[in-house]
């Protein structure tokens, strides 16, 4: 019974999505189009100006020329004002209606000077109303646009029936030269109403689909977040429970090594056992780091160049065993950082180990320290390995995703979390010429909340030193 009601729960959740959110989705997609519409009114002003000049040369009725000229000047002024304010103000349905209404005024002027109800441009009222229905998506805003258009159609029809309407231009032709004006107005009104209603129905149907998709996405995200929290808790519990017996195994194996004759086969086998135990302990530490929420930062003054040099020194043995050259290049003008040296060292260790493991023998891995934008420092770890495909790079920051056969997929997740806790960023990119380039940007000081959470706690002794 519960499962049969699940779909209804999803649909009723549409109320959690405010219509304004759907509007903002549409605006983001239509932003470029609306920007072009603002600029297009300059073209409209130019067209009106050209028509004004043409009428001045060919038409004896001066009012047409003056009306077109005034409309061109007004439209250019409004377009210039909107161009300056368009990007600085939020795009609301009211602003959209305002933009479309300015186009309506342009059409009305063109219709007035080219024959009124008999103008070939009269049908553009229908097109504009349909566009308004699709763009605005709300009946009340559509009426702001379609109402004046319908009223103008009937005003022109009445003027034409009374013989007061503007005369036609033979060289432009006419939309309904042989039909009564009231009949043509009625046809236009029906077409405008039907077209607007159908377009509005399609837009509202699209809004409902978007709302359901948004609700579904939120529910899926909430479910995944809940499962992720459960996974974090489970991994932390398992890692904690396994570390204690693993420590006992390491201790007993170490005692046995000292009791057995040096160089014996048993000692060699115990060495392998100890190595695997240490590797397992390192993996469990990664799971613990992943499962624990990021603790407060124990900040102090740290020299970035010295911290980088210490991390490189820790990896000289690993690099030499793989035939990889390690270099550190630190600018002298890099400012001192207020950071947690232990956590920042953890980030650099992870990046440097990844670079060494990805590098072929005979190549070099470089750890650079540069001044960061707006203060702080940027650490760059550069290797000459195979590099990373674009679709893989960002996925590597998801838990469990790795390119290593024996990797856990947690190292980069923890590293980015530490960088963001400091108010910085961690990204991966292609190195020009081949390989991978990891950039870790750290500001001069962490955010107040992160730094304050560790206030008063002494920083543990670690590489990096103080200045």
CATH number of the domain to which 311 belongs? 3.30.565.10
pLDDT computed for residue 435 by the predictor: 85
Structural domain contains residue 273: no
pLDDT computed for residue 459 by the predictor: 40
| Residue 157 CB partners (closer than 8 Å, separation 6+) | 117, 181, 182, 184, 185
- Structural element, H or E, at residue 140: helix 139-161
Structural domain contains residue 344: yes
Do 186 and 63 lie in one domain? The reply is yes
Q: Where are the alpha helices (DSSP H) in 292-429?
A: 304-314, 316-321, 341-358, 390-393, 411-421
- Structural element, H or E, at residue 377: strand 377-382
Structural domain contains residue 228: no
Identify the domain boundary among 192, 221, 250.
Answer: 221
| Residue whose structure tokens are 């519409």 | 37
Structural domain contains residue 289: no
CA nearest to 154, candidates 191, 117, 128, 122: 117
Do 179 and 313 lie in one domain? The reply is no
pLDDT computed for residue 369 by the predictor: 92
Structural domain contains residue 465: no
SS3 26: helix
E-strand stretches of 206-315: 300-302
- List of the chain residues with pLDDT < 50: 1-15, 170-176, 450-467
| Residue 104 near residue 149, CB atoms below 8 Å | yes
Structural domain contains residue 239: no
Measured CA to CA, the distance from residue 395 to residue 167 in angstroms comes to 68
Identify the domain boundary among 177, 193, 221.
Answer: 221
Domain that holds residue 214: 10-221
Do 310 and 418 lie in one domain? The reply is yes
Do 197 and 318 lie in one domain? The reply is no
Do 333 and 423 lie in one domain? The reply is yes
Do 414 and 307 lie in one domain? The reply is yes
Do 71 and 162 lie in one domain? The reply is yes
Identify the domain boundary among 221, 236, 267.
Answer: 221
| Residue 451 CB partners (closer than 8 Å, separation 6+) | 297, 299, 338, 445
- Structural element, H or E, at residue 454: none
Measured CA to CA, the distance from residue 171 to residue 429 in angstroms comes to 63
Write the DSSP symbol of residue 436: E
CA 390 to chain centre: 17
Concatenated DSSP letters of 346-362 = HHHHHHHHHHHHHSPTT
Total domain count for the chain?
Answer: 2
Structural domain contains residue 342: yes
pLDDT computed for residue 367 by the predictor: 93
Do 328 and 415 lie in one domain? The reply is yes
Angle, nearest 10°, between helix axes 139-161 and 181-259? 160
Measured CA to CA, the distance from residue 363 to residue 325 in angstroms comes to 6
pTM here?
0.47
pLDDT computed for residue 9 by the predictor: 36
Do 304 and 207 lie in one domain? The reply is no
CA nearest to 191, candidates 228, 149, 229, 157: 149
pLDDT computed for residue 19 by the predictor: 60
Structural domain contains residue 400: yes
pLDDT computed for residue 403 by the predictor: 62
| Residue 422 CB partners (closer than 8 Å, separation 6+) | 297, 339, 340, 343, 344, 442, 443, 446, 447, 450
Write the DSSP symbol of residue 14: G
pLDDT computed for residue 262 by the predictor: 80
Do 213 and 307 lie in one domain? The reply is no
């Amino acid at each position: 019974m519960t499962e049969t009601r699940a779909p209804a729960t999803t649909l009723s959740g549409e109320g959690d999505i405010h219509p304004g959110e759907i509007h903002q989705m549409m605006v983001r997609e239509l932003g470029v189009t609306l920007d072009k519409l603002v600029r297009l009114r300059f073209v409209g002003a130019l067209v009106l100006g050209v028509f004004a000049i043409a009428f001045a040369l060919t038409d004896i009725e001066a009012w047409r020329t003056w009306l077109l000229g005034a409309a061109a000047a007004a439209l250019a002024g409004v377009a210039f004002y909107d161009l300056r304010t368009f990007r600085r103000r939020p795009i609301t349905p009211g602003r959209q209606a305002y933009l479309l209404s300015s186009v309506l005024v342009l059409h009305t002027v063109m219709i007035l000077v080219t024959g009124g109800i008999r103008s070939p441009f009269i049908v553009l009222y229908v097109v504009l109303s349909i566009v308004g229905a699709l763009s605005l998506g709300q009946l009340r805003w559509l009426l702001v646009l379609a109402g004046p258009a319908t009223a103008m159609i009937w005003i022109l029809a009445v003027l034409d029936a009374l013989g007061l309407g503007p005369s036609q231009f033979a060289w432009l032709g006419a939309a309904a030269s042989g039909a009564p004006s009231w009949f043509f107005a009625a046809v236009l009104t029906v077409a405008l109403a039907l077209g607007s209603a159908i377009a509005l129905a399609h837009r509202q149907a699209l809004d409902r689909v978007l709302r359901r998709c948004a609700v579904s996405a939120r529910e899926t995200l909430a479910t995944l977040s809940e499962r992720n929290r459960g996974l974090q808790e489970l991994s932390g519990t398992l890692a904690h429970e396994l570390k204690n017996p693993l420590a006992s195994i390491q201790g007993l194996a170490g005692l046995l090594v000292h009791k057995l004759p040096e160089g014996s086969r048993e000692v060699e086998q115990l060495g392998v056992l100890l190595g695997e135990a240490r590797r397992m302990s390192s993996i469990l530490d990664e799971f613990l780091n992943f499962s624990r929420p990021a603790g407060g930062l124990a900040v102090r003054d740290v020299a970035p160049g010295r911290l980088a040099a210490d991390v490189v020194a820790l990896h000289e043995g690993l690099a030499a065993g793989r035939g990889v050259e390690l270099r550190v290049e630190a600018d002298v003008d890099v400012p001192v950082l207020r950071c947690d040296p232990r956590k920042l060292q953890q980030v650099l260790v992870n990046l440097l180990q990844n670079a060494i493991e990805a590098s072929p023998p005979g190549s070099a891995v470089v750890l650079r320290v540069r001044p960061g934008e707006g203060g702080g420092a940027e650490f760059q770890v550069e290797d000459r390995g195979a590099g990373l495909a674009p679709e893989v790079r960002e996925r590597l920051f998801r838990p469990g995703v790795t390119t290593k056969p024996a990797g856990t997929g947690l190292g980069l997740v923890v590293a980015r979390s530490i960088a963001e806790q400091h108010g910085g960023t961690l990204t991966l990119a292609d190195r020009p010429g081949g390989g991978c380039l990891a950039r870790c940007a750290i500001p001069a000081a962490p955010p107040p909340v992160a730094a304050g959470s560790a206030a008063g706690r002494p920083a543990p002794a670690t590489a990096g030193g103080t200045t």
